[in-house]
Chains A and B, each alone.
Chain A
Amino acid sequence: MRELERSFKCHKIIGGYGEGEALVSREPICFYLTDPLTGIVREKTHELAGKNIAGKVLVFPSGKASSVVQIDGLFKLASHGLAPKAMIVKDVETVLIVSAFITKVPLVDRLEKDPFETIRTGDLVRVDADKSRVTIAARQS
């Protein structure tokens, strides 16, 4: 069943606009552990193992792993056109900010509602970081 659009305030970290299907991970993400030629998560024990993050609006708690590998991981995905369209996180740290900055992937945090209770994998989500707004355009039923 289709619901009305719902829109939430958020806090811009890296500006820009991105829309796409949501992919929600309750575990932190290390981009180095995705396949740079497909976008598929290779980390075997990760809840997203085997899923593809390319072109998605990625919802996750935070980044993880050392600065060199994390930044290089997202950079390699982006240089193959396989970066996420936008990222919605709960906790930021410097390394994730740098990763999003150099790949120009919009990054926001502090969604006014808990993103894990609001957004489901498969929802169509628009992230307008410049206007500090996240819109769930269509729900996955």
Chain B
Amino acid sequence: MNLTGEEERILKGEFGSGTQKAMELLVAIGEAYDAEKMIHVSRAHAASSGQEGDLYFVELLADGGARCKVPTSTNPVYDIKYFHSLFNHISKDEAQVARRVMEAYKRVGAILSWSCVPYLSENIPLYGESVAFSESSATPYVNSVIGARTNREAAQSALAAGIVGETPEYGLHVRENRKGTFLIDVEAYLKDEFDYTLLGYYVGKVVGYGIPVLTGISRRPSTEELINFCAMSNTSGAISMFYMPGFTVEAETVKDAFQGDTPKNKDTVSDKELCEVRKELQTASGRLDFVQLGCPHYTLKQVGRAASLLKGKKVHEGVGFWVCTSATTKLLADRIGYTGIIENAGGRVVVDTCIDEPCWVGYRDKVGMTDSPKCAYYRRFKDVMIGRLEDCVDAAVEGRWG
């Protein structure tokens, strides 16, 4: 790679060993992809997690005196005190890892958002910006819905980019690589964001690694529908970018999305395929122990919808009802009164965490219900039912479903 004098000095350690380590990682990635140079990034999102590999790297940078050069937000971990007051199963070692991860991100000067949808409020890229955003929904959302440019980063490569303020010029930072690879015609009826979760899950499985171009979408998708499509397609597959010509920003037509080429791979999705995805993910029916919503983190609109469905009702005795969201969204939900309604019904609005964190260990042998295939896929609990938000609320009230 051709490095500037300043970049060479970072690599030699003149600005401290933490920034040096970050630069070493970026150069290794750049050389692997034959990038010619580094480019500036305006912001980054590190998919932090309460796990040991993540802890090692962020502490290495923090101990070496590194500080984020550009705004760098963080993914969910969990509030140790809050969960210790609810469950007594979290091991000391796991809690210690989470505590140290959160402290180290603070030391490097990250935006402590602990949110998986930072692009909605804490760290919002603009059209055309070069950024480094890890996290399954964030990478495709930022590329496709916003039209900024990011590769499918790991937490560590995104953090390194945030520390140095640069990333190697490769992959989706290069226009030619943003070309569609797979045409998907959507015949299925898409009612709400739940159907978009199933569509995303199906598309990720069919395409695997690539850039799908979706046609046949009959109305403008909502923010929530797009978030869910992104999260699910980048869970069942490696979808860093997609096009819905007419609704996403970068290509007006299918032809533009394929940069003039004829698509080689094609598929059609009907109601039947979405129905099969749902069946594939479902492992139980009947009695349930808890409902888990907010994977990805619920938006304010979704928290409000959950509250309106629960208003005047009571969650069944012994059933847990959880709505995961970001701290900023909860602040508004508290103020508007959504949180109060959910709590009065026996539910909880919880911030800073995700179903994939060790704090949910108390549900290891339990049956849960969710509106998120991603939650079902990564679950740390035994069996799962999948349904729309309305179904999840009914099930929580009845204590059973199906």
Contacts and interface: CB of A to CB of B under 8 A. Distances in A.
Interface of A: 11-14, 66-68, 71-76, 79, 92-95, 97-99, 101-102, 109
A94 B151 contact: yes
Contact of A102 (B33, B56, B136, B151): B56
B157 A71 contact: no
B28 A13 contact: yes
Contacts of A68: 47, 49, 51, 53-54, 155, 356
B152 interface: yes
A67 B155 contact: yes
Contact of A101 (B25, B153, B235): B25
B53 A74 contact: yes
B152 A94 contact: yes
Contacts of A98: 25, 29, 154, 156-157
A97 B154 CA distance: 10
Given A12-B31, A66-B136, A101-B25, A95 B52 contact: no
A71 B54 CA distance: 8
B19 interface: no
Contacts of A74: 53
A101 B155 contact: no
A75 B56 contact: yes
Nearest to A68: B49
B153 A94 contact: yes
B16 to A, nearest CB: 18
Interface residues of B, number: 27
B49 to A, nearest CB: 5
Contacts, number: 69
Interface of B: 24-25, 28-29, 31-33, 47, 49, 51-54, 56-57, 60, 134, 136, 151-157, 235, 356
Contact of A71 (B28, B136, B154): B154
Contacts of A79: 52
Which of A12, A72, A109 has the most chain B CB within a 10 Å cutoff? A72
Nearest to B24: A101
26 contacts: A12-B31, A13-B28, A14-B28, A66-B136, A66-B235, A67-B153, A68-B47, A68-B54, A68-B356, A71-B53, A72-B49, A72-B54, A74-B53, A79-B52, A92-B33, A94-B153, A94-B154, A95-B154, A97-B25, A97-B28, A98-B156, A101-B24, A101-B28, A102-B53, A102-B57, A109-B32
Nearest to A69: B51
A89 B156 CA distance: 21
A76 B31 CA distance: 26
CB-CB nearest 9 A-B residue pairs: A75-B53, A67-B154, A72-B53, A71-B53, A98-B154, A72-B51, A13-B32, A98-B156, A95-B154
A15 to B, nearest CB: 8
A137 B60 CA distance: 36
